[in-house]
Amino acid sequence: MEQRNEEWKREQSRIEMIQQVIKAKLEKLQEHMGGLKEGVIELRRDFWKDVTINLDHPDDVIETFTSIKQQAELLAEQERNHRQSYQKVQQLLRLNQSPYFGRIDFQEEGEQGAEQIYIGITSLMDQEDEDFLIFDWRAPISSLYYDHSPGPASYLTPSGEIKGNIELKRQYIIKGSKLKGMFDTGVTIGDQLLQEVLGGTANTQMKSIVATIQREQNHIIRNEKSRYLVVQGVAGSGKTSAALQRAAYLLYRYRHTLTSENIMLFSPNPLFNSYVATVLPELGEDNMVQTTYQQYLISRFGKGFSVEDSYSQIEYTLTAMDEPEYKQRLEGIRFKTSVAYKEWIDDYVAKLSTKGLKFKSFYFRGELLYSSEEIHDLFYSFDTDISIPNRLKLTSEKLLKDLSTFAKIEREKDWVLEEAELLDKEDYLEAFHQTQKQEEDFDDMEQEERFLKKRIVSKHLKSIRRQLKGLQLLNIEALYRIFLLSEHVAGPKDWPEIYEYTIKQIDNRVIPYEDATPYLYLQDQLEGRKANTLIRHLFIDEAQDYSPFQFEFLRQQFPNSKMTILGDMNQAIYAHSIHAPTLLNAELEGEEKIVLTKSYRSTKQIVEFTRKMIAGGELIEPFNRNGEEPTVTEVDNFEALHKGIMDRVETLQKKGHETIAIICKTAVESQQAYEQLNKQIDVRLMKKETNAYEKGTIILPAYLAKGIEFDAVIVYNASEQQYGREMERNLFYTACTRAMHELHLYSLGICSPFISKE
């Protein structure tokens, strides 16, 4: 006991020494930053004073440009230095509160004595910047902490494998620079530390897990070889957290060649984007590019169509069972998301190589300039061995050449001069500046007139030029309509009804969600599309919601990207993904698959309750954190339902639970529940447009809760009527597994058959 106390004192003394080093470094940095800030302000204020401006002669213009460029580069360098210093200050402030969470004593082969390696969220060197006091959790040597127990161990460095022996492995809980806990442990992160982290309340932002990374999670984080890293993880297994730490690791490992702009995350919804937005900044990294698949589709379609979102589609599948076209719509959704449908499009494109393409007509001032038939004949005059996109390029080049000739002729027409006479004073002034740039003699009336005519005609032709340069010659909408009408041998038997529904939506300028990817895929196959080569690592969360067709589409959009693919087949909730192939279970060349079966989010009682809802649930391992048993309450009417939920919310609040979710099946049910409960309790309604949430009690549909955790979850109506169909099983499971500490289900009538009666 006395030895333990002495060890505790030594560790606390070291924390205090670290604080002194941090304090000294902060003072030095803040003094340096003050000078940098003053320099930046001074440079901005006096920017033009230090620039020589002379535009009298060409040589003077070049000298002026060089002067401006040098001044801008000097300012940018000063701003960059200030930003880097600010980031270092933020890292030091975080270290000051909790400098490290782990230690290993490692004796390298051939060395005398073991070195004490302290591990934290970032590295720290001594005041002379000679020796490491703390190692960054991403450093190669830190992998010893996550992957090995005391005894023989090794780690990989860029120069090779380092072998040795771990003599001690210790974990710390440090808060406010005070040592609160200290545990010597084996291979996995000890239960005491996990209990401390997991036993707290849920936050409105995802927490960093660097202090509690498990061995299997570390394998995900440090994987550098796999083209496709596929992670099948049960609810609460930490797969998303590990993926975000993986992004931080990659930015650290390849910091000289990789930036946050080279990494993109496809997340399930904007709310989730907000939920995970602080993880990378907490680790001292800039956030990666974050989007949703829906946002990506909208960015591609522009303003031509309204694109149905996946939430509208799932609302339809969960609520429109009585509508006449319901069965056919579901059949259409499943088929249009399949690889077979993609192959249909490929066959269609092959046929269009020889005939059948539909082109736009181009009009100039209300009169036909190039007819669709004229462009059609020009396109098919080129050799059919040339790909469609390349023939479009040749066609476009010919039309642009003709357009230049047309523009020269058009400038001499009366309408151009008439329009020139109506120009505003500002237009003349702009023309004057343009003339100066082009060394035109503005005193010469003929030159002035010629310049203005050229400008006016170019303005009218701008849209046509833009479309021709962008190879936007085809009528993609007409081609997709024809494709839907063409004969398909292997299609669903209800294809005529599916076609009719789709055409009706397109007539209303709406693209159904199941048609959005095929439509863009067809467009890309015909027009060609410059791939996104900037993104080198793509993270796809909730991958079970992506169809094989969507994955093939993404592979074409990001051909140079490695992919980290995360999901849980038990949370597949969309019509196309239930009992069907998805991105998560596709066979990919060059993939490595990691399966996570241990759930850390929920208490042991909640995991044991929820795993009975799904096939194979017995394989899910609960973390040994005890809590209250989930409850199931059946009521006879809405009045009793709302009374029970309101009483439960009050009880949960008194217990100190800060995030309470009342999870409904759909947005329609969420709205109805909100209208009733809002009269009696403080509650907020979350919709698909919601970008962030605060602590408190919220009502939301189950599909918006994906990936997020709450202190307590109340399932609004867990009845057989609401959750009785097999296709609703995964949605029900998803709702229940959001709970960290308490789960309470209310049922209006007989409860769902997915709830075990054992």
Annotation-wise, does 204 bind a ligand? no
233 is in an annotated binding site: yes
Burial of 562 (0-12, 13-18, 19+ CB in 10 A): buried
Contacts of 657 (CB under 8 A, 6+ apart): 201, 711, 712, 741, 742
Q: Which two tokens stand for residue 519?
A: 């439509």
On whether 234 is known to bind a ligand per the annotation, the reply is yes
In the numeric block, which tokens belong to residue 616? 């194979």
Backbone φ and ψ of 173, nearest 5°: -115, 110
- Is 232 in contact with 583 (CB distance < 8 Å)? no
Helix ranges, 661-721 (H): 667-677
237 is in an annotated binding site: yes
- Beta pairing partners, 125: 132
**Residue 236, marked binder:** yes
Tokens linked to 399: 């039309």
Q: Tell me if 61 is assigned to a ligand binding site.
A: no
Q: Are 278 and 206 in contact (CB under 8 A)?
A: yes
Cα 331 to Cα 195: distance, rounded to the nearest angstrom = 47
Of the candidates 676, 665, 686, the residue with the CA atom closest to the CA atom of residue 752: 665
**What span, in angstroms and rounded, lies between the C-alpha atoms of 118 and 146?**
13
Q: Is 192 exposed, middle or buried (0-12, 13-18, 19+ CB in 10 A)?
A: middle
**Reduced 3-state DSSP string for 362-424:** EEECCEEEECHHHHHHHHCCCCCCCCHHHHHHHHHHHHHHHHHHHHHHHCCCHHHHHHHHCCC
What are the backbone dihedrals phi and psi of residue 243, each rounded to the nearest 5 degrees, phi first?
Answer: -65, -40
Structural contact between residues 421 and 452, judged by C-beta atoms closer than 8 angstroms: no
Query: Which of 475, 477, 482 minimizes the C-alpha distance to 360?
Result: 475
Q: What is the C-alpha to C-alpha distance for residues 311 and 654, in angstroms, rounded to an integer?
A: 34
State the residue for tokens 């002067």: 67
The position carrying tokens 């996550």 is 146
Are 560 and 158 spatial neighbours (Cβ–Cβ below 8 Å)?
no
Q: Which two tokens stand for residue 526?
A: 């015909």
Q: Which helix (H) or strand (E) segment is 710 a member of? A: strand 710-715
How many whole angstroms separate alpha carbon 3 and alpha carbon 11?
A: 12
Q: Phi and psi (nearest 5°) for 205?
A: -130, 145
As beta bridge partners, residue 104 has 117, 169
Q: Is 580 annotated as a binding residue?
A: no
Question: Do 472 and 393 contact (CB within 8 A), yes or no?
Answer: no
With tokens 């996990």, the residue in question is: 194
Contact assessment for residue 662 and residue 673, using Cβ atoms and an 8 Å cutoff: yes
Is 303 annotated for ligand binding? no
- The string of DSSP codes covering 266-307 is EES-HHHHHHHTTHHHHTT-PPPEEEEHHHHHHHHHTTS-EE
| 3-state secondary structure (DSSP) of residue 91 | helix
Would the CA dihedral through 21, 27, 33, 35 be positive or negative?
negative
Task: Give the residue numbers of the binding site.
Answer: 233-240
Task: Give the residue numbers of the binding site for ATP.
Answer: 233-240
